[in-house]
Structure 1
Amino acid sequence: MLDKQQIIDDSKQYSLFTWVAQKPVNPIAIERAEGVYLYEVGGKKIIDFSSGLMSVNIGHGDQRITDAVVEQMQKVSYVTPSCTTEIRAKLAKKLAEICPGDLNKAFFTLCGASSIENAIKLARLYTGRHKIFGRYRGFHGNSSASMTLGGDPRKIFADAQQATNIFHLDDPYDFYGLSDQDEATKLKWSLDAVERIIRYEGPHTIAAFVFEGESGSSGCLHYPKGYLKGIKEMCEKHGILFIADEVMSGFGRTGKWFGFQHHDIIPDMICMAKGLTSSYLPLGCLMVSDTIAAQYETNPLWLGLTYNSHPVALAAALANVNIYETDNLIENAVKMGAYMERRIDEMRAQHPSIGKFRNKGLLGCLEVVKSHAPYELMAPFNANATEMEVMNKVGAKLRELGLYTFVRWGYIFIAPPLIITEAEIDEGLAIISEALKIADENMI
């Protein structure tokens, strides 16, 4: 058994860590995990307030997933995608049951980014068009097309690798001096702007729009009421496909099976991963409408992956999806999300640095501000190292006190596993409260 320091040293010596310079990286060496807690080598207990990468929805260490995986491995661990298995039939049928409308066909992938890549490919094949639209404040992964599709500034460092024929919309928020207008006026202005872009680009050239069901990585930025429905109607008018990226917002995270269900729409495709298996094993899925799938009844479907429909990953997914239902986790996300919002409102009197808390179910981002008038975040979008000085101290304090989450620019992710209780929320918020004292002292 390696000791804690040897684990860290060997990991740094022989593997690469994501999104960071390698030399200063200081990873947490985790020995085990259970429920909403991680346990560091040496025994330190850490509350997981971000569900890993907003993905361990059912919590850590659920024996039911382990049992399902072991049982499947004892039967068959892998067959080529041209074969099929009982678990493939069962999971595909189950996903068709929980998806609305005619989203009845599953194409299994490896992760969220590969779901997006295959959705883009299929949209172009199906429509015969080439342009794909995403949002500047969206995030869809870090493979070539998925990276290009989002607007996360991390893609700028790999700018020469961005894919072609992918375009971006700005967001329908108060960026344009419309803050004094009523909601109906702002909504109309935002939708008219999208319609103009469609006309400029030529609707006959646009294959698909891709939207997160609910925003996550960009700061949990909420769509105005009616916005996604208006976009979907535009897509239908122009023969453009609407693809919902539910990689982060799916599987109960927002208090519904899928984030788009808050917006009274049914997309043409859904991209899934993360909560599909609660990250117990890598798996993604692209759900496709019967209308699209019908075209490939007599025509070849030019999609394929070695690990498509991997039986062991599918077994984890089916057990995981059943747990959402048997344990009423989606209902708990609604209940605990409301409790989280009340508790953070109570914390405002103690912490002037608390800004907006954008939350839906248990997908939330807490903005930390240096000023309320004018409203200014403690660190701006795409902040540099100097601008992140205070927020980095906040993040370090969270880690020191035993809470794991993401501090990004001027906000703190609050997205714990859906199994969380009121007592565990109080425990996590007490740590956040202590860390926010640093921000309070640095307001202007």
Structure 2
Amino acid sequence: MSNFTAADGRHIYETDRSHVFHSWSAQDKVTPLPVSHGEGATFYDYDGNAYLDFSSQLVNLNLGHQHPRLVKSIQDQAAKLATIQPAFANDARSELARLLTEAAPGNLSHVFFTNGGADANEHAVRMARLHTGRKKIMSAYRSYHGATATAISLTGDPRRWPNDPGDASVLHFFGPYAYRSPFWSETPEQESERALAHLENQIILEGAGTISAIIIETVVGTNGILVPPPGYLPGVRALCDKYGILYIADEVMAGFGRTGTMFAIENFGVEPDLITFAKGVNSGYVPLGGIIISPEIVDTFREKAYPGGLTYSGHPLACAVGVETFAVFAEEKILERTQDLGQRVVRPRLEAMKEKHDCVGEVRGLGLFWGIELVRDEETREPLVPFNPSPEENQPMLEFAAACRRSGLWPFTHFNRVHVAPPLIISEEDLNRGLDIIDAALDELDAYATPTLQAASISS
């Protein structure tokens, strides 16, 4: 890789700053790192620095950088048929649709392909409204569903605020969050029961006959790695059945092995009416998303046209990588190793960090999808930085991220949390090395926390 030079990096950076408009950013305050290449769980800059990718880019690079089989699948497909419009049948698209429906829970039967997760959620909402004849959609606070028109309205985090007023028929509710329970629950089971009661009350007060669907991230991603407590998702399914509401499972981030099962919903024994997906379906090598659809919804559009489509729906290059992804998952036993690494390595390491560090309030997750919640006080659970912090308030997290990068790890941080979401192909050695780096960086954050447990131990 000696062809990459520091001068190349400086030129790329200067050109970027002169011409690229960056998402979610004040343009004069971004300093994007020029990346030269990647391999497996690591990427490199033009100065030769290596970074363990503990965020899988945007939690989409499930099979890692430059997986040779995924790269070859693009090359082979491009040599045969680089593109074709959606009205034609294509072998890569057809085969991926078959694989997706066979892997999905229950009897979901068809796939509508999109270019990514946001437009998958847009079209899932459109299908739900047309199928039920109702307008309203319910989504949770502490969620992210995309940045397009309806998807940003569905989103329950501060990124929605500058885009309001958006879709006025979107309603938000409180999902379960046992560590910071909005229902004053004392156990996960109590949290589930009270969260379901809250949701049913809101359905009743909004008018069940006006609500077309409830959309939920199966495991909340960017907004906390919130694993639903026992009984919650089956309870949501029961409420949807009771009131004739569709259940949309947003698996854009949590799907394709991230939690140790192909779809995260498999962990909870629930069959939704629609599953939206993207990201891990082909590790983001070529943009791709979609919706897996129940036969009942397909029947709605057998004799009348579905009013939606995209030029690049089911692009053959993207679908070819998706087909190869299923083969890699099977042959490299990706699901099995993800479950093993999550339970045998990540869980005990993070639990040990919780015991060691005053700044760690809770750790939670499944597979290779974990969150470390950081606090100033373990007793009061005051967050290390507030919800939607200003740059000044966010200084501790900036210091943490900088410490990780100096040690060769690129972390995923959001508000007062650190997320652990490396590529599913990461070696056990690299996984432990990355956790060592996080552990060491947390030492610096302990200075911001009240050593309550240590003080109690000394006084006793």
* Shorter-chain TM band: over 0.9
Residue 146 of structure 2 is matched in structure 1 by 141
Distance 1:3 1:195 in 2: 58
Residue 168 of structure 2 is matched in structure 1 by 164
Residue 338 of structure 2 is matched in structure 1 by 333
Residue 372 of structure 1 is matched in structure 2 by 378
Residue 77 of structure 1 is matched in structure 2 by 82
Select 1:89's aligned residue among 94, 113, 119.
Answer: 94
Distance 2:326 2:73 in 1: 12
| Residue identity opposite 1:171 in structure 2 | G
The residue correspondences of 1:29-428 to structure 2 (distance < 5 A) are: 29-160=34-165, 162-174=166-178, 175-176=181-182, 178-180=184-186, 183-338=188-343, 339-428=345-434
Secondary structure of 2:382's partner? strand
Unaligned runs of 5+ in 2: 451-460
| Residue identity opposite 2:321 in structure 1 | A
> Conserved in 2, the CA contact under 8 Å of 1:232 and 1:242?
yes
Distance 1:249 1:284 in 2: 13
Secondary structure of 2:164's partner? helix
Distance 1:352 1:296 in 2: 56
TM-score normalized with structure 2 length:
0.93
TM-score normalized with structure 1 length:
0.96
> Conserved in 1, the CA contact under 8 Å of 2:152 and 2:163?
no
> Conserved in 2, the CA contact under 8 Å of 1:365 and 1:413?
yes
Q: Once structures 1 and 2 are overlaid, which stretch shifts more, 393-402 or 139-148? A: 393-402
> Conserved in 2, the CA contact under 8 Å of 1:131 and 1:206?
yes
Secondary structure of 2:88's partner? coil
Residue 17 of structure 2 is matched in structure 1 by 12
Which string of whole-angstrom CA distances, capped at 9 and with x for unpartnered residues, describes residues 2-26 of structure 1?
6111111101111012212121211
* CA positional deviation for 1:184: 4.4
> Conserved in 2, the CA contact under 8 Å of 1:336 and 1:421?
no
Distance 1:192 1:436 in 2: 38
Secondary structure of 1:78's partner? coil
> Conserved in 2, the CA contact under 8 Å of 1:246 and 1:258?
yes
> Conserved in 1, the CA contact under 8 Å of 2:174 and 2:182?
no
* CA positional deviation for 1:355: 2.2
Q: Does 1:434 align with 2:440?
A: yes
* CA positional deviation for 1:213: 1.3
Q: CA RMSD in A?
A: 1.5
* CA positional deviation for 1:378: 0.8
Q: Once structures 1 and 2 are overlaid, which stretch shifts more, 238-247 or 150-159? A: 150-159
Secondary structure of 2:311's partner? coil
> Conserved in 2, the CA contact under 8 Å of 1:256 and 1:330?
yes
| Residue identity opposite 2:401 in structure 1 | G
Distance 1:413 1:69 in 2: 30
Distance 2:167 2:87 in 1: 30
Unaligned runs of 5+ in 1: none
| Residue identity opposite 1:172 in structure 2 | P
Secondary structure of 2:172's partner? strand
Q: Once structures 1 and 2 are overlaid, which stretch shifts more, 381-390 or 262-271? A: 381-390
Secondary structure of 1:237's partner? helix
* CA positional deviation for 1:349: 4.7
* CA positional deviation for 1:177: 5.5
| Residue identity opposite 1:345 in structure 2 | E
Distance 1:125 1:315 in 2: 31
Distance 2:192 2:414 in 1: 28
Secondary structure of 1:308's partner? coil
Alpha-carbon spacing, 1:149–1:313, altered in 2? closer, same or farther (3 Å):
same
* CA positional deviation for 1:292: 1.1
* CA positional deviation for 1:94: 1.0
Distance 2:312 2:182 in 1: 46
| Residue identity opposite 1:215 in structure 2 | V
* CA positional deviation for 1:427: 0.9
> Conserved in 2, the CA contact under 8 Å of 1:103 and 1:268?
yes
